[in-house]
Structure 1
Amino acid sequence: MNKILLVCYSFPPNPGVGGRRWAKFAKYLVKASHYVEVINAKLSTDDTSTWNKDAQLLHESNNVHSLPTRYPEIIKKTPDTYFQKIQYRLSLEYLKIKVKGNMYDKSSLWHLNLVPFVVDKLNEGFDTIICTAAPFHYLSQISTLKKQFPNVNFIADFRDPWANNSISYGITDLNP
Structure 2
Amino acid sequence: MKKVLIITYYWPPSGGPGVQRWLKFVKYLRGYGIEAVVYVPENPSYPIIDKSLEEEIPEGIRVIRKKIFEPYSIAGIFSKKDTETISAGIIQKEENQSALQKAMLYIRGNYFIPDARKFWISPSVKFLKKEIEDGHYHAIITTGPPHSLHLIGLKLKQALAVKWIADFRDPWTQIGYHEKLKLNDSSRKKHEKLEEQVLNAADHIITTSFTTKEEFSSKTSQPVTVITNGFDTEINRNNSTKKQFEIAHIGSLLSGRNPDSLWKALQELIKNNKDFKDYFRLRLAGKVSDEVLGSIRKYDLQHFLENEGYVNHARAVKLQREASVLLLLEIDSEETRGIIPGKIFEYLAANKPILAIGPKNWDAEKIISKTNAGKVFSYADASEIKHHIESLFRKYLKNEQMSTSHNLEQYHRKSLTEDLANLIKQV
Q: CA contact under 8 A between 1:16 and 1:49: conserved in structure 2?
A: no
Higher RCO (C-alpha 8 Å, min separation 6) = 1
Q: Distance in 1 between matches of 2:76 and 2:130?
A: 30
- 1:148-159 maps to which residues of 2 (within 5 A)? 148-150=159-161, 152-159=162-169
| SS of equivalent residue, structure 1 residue 15 | coil
Q: TM-score normalised to the size of structure 2? A: 0.32
- 1:37-116 maps to which residues of 2 (within 5 A)? 37-41=37-41, 42-44=43-45, 47-57=49-59, 61=60, 63-72=62-71, 73-75=73-75, 79=79, 96=111, 99=112, 101-102=113-114, 105-116=115-126
Deviations 1:14-52 (A, max 9, x none): 222211011000111123332211011232569335432
% identity of equivalent residues: 25
Offset at residue 112 of structure 1 (A) = 3.0
- Any gaps of 5 or more consecutive residues in structure 2? 81-99, 183-427
Q: Distance in 2 between matches of 1:65 and 1:38?
A: 6
Q: Distance in 2 between matches of 1:131 and 1:37?
A: 12
Structure 1 residues 25 and 114, CA gap change in structure 2 (3 angstroms)? same
Computed over aligned residues only, the root mean square deviation of the Cα atoms, in angstroms, reads 3.3
Count matched residues.
154
Deviations 1:88-137 (A, max 9, x none): 98xx59x94xx5x24xx232111133112221221121121000000002
Amino acid corresponding to residue 62 of structure 2 in structure 1: N
| SS of equivalent residue, structure 2 residue 141 | strand
Offset at residue 142 of structure 1 (A) = 2.3
Which has the larger displacement, 22-31 or 8-17?
Answer: 8-17
Q: Distance in 2 between matches of 1:76 and 1:138?
A: 23
Q: CA contact under 8 A between 1:6 and 1:37: conserved in structure 2?
A: yes
The corresponding residue for 1:135 is 146
Amino acid corresponding to residue 35 of structure 2 in structure 1: Y
Q: Distance in 2 between matches of 1:30 and 1:145?
A: 25
Amino acid corresponding to residue 4 of structure 1 in structure 2: V
1:20 equivalent to 2:30? Answer no
Q: CA contact under 8 A between 2:36 and 2:61: conserved in structure 1?
A: no
Q: TM-score normalised to the size of structure 1? A: 0.70
Amino acid corresponding to residue 131 of structure 2 in structure 1: K
Q: Distance in 2 between matches of 1:33 and 1:67?
A: 27
Q: Distance in 1 between matches of 2:119 and 2:169?
A: 21
Deviations 1:137-164 (A, max 9, x none): 23123212223322x2200001113762
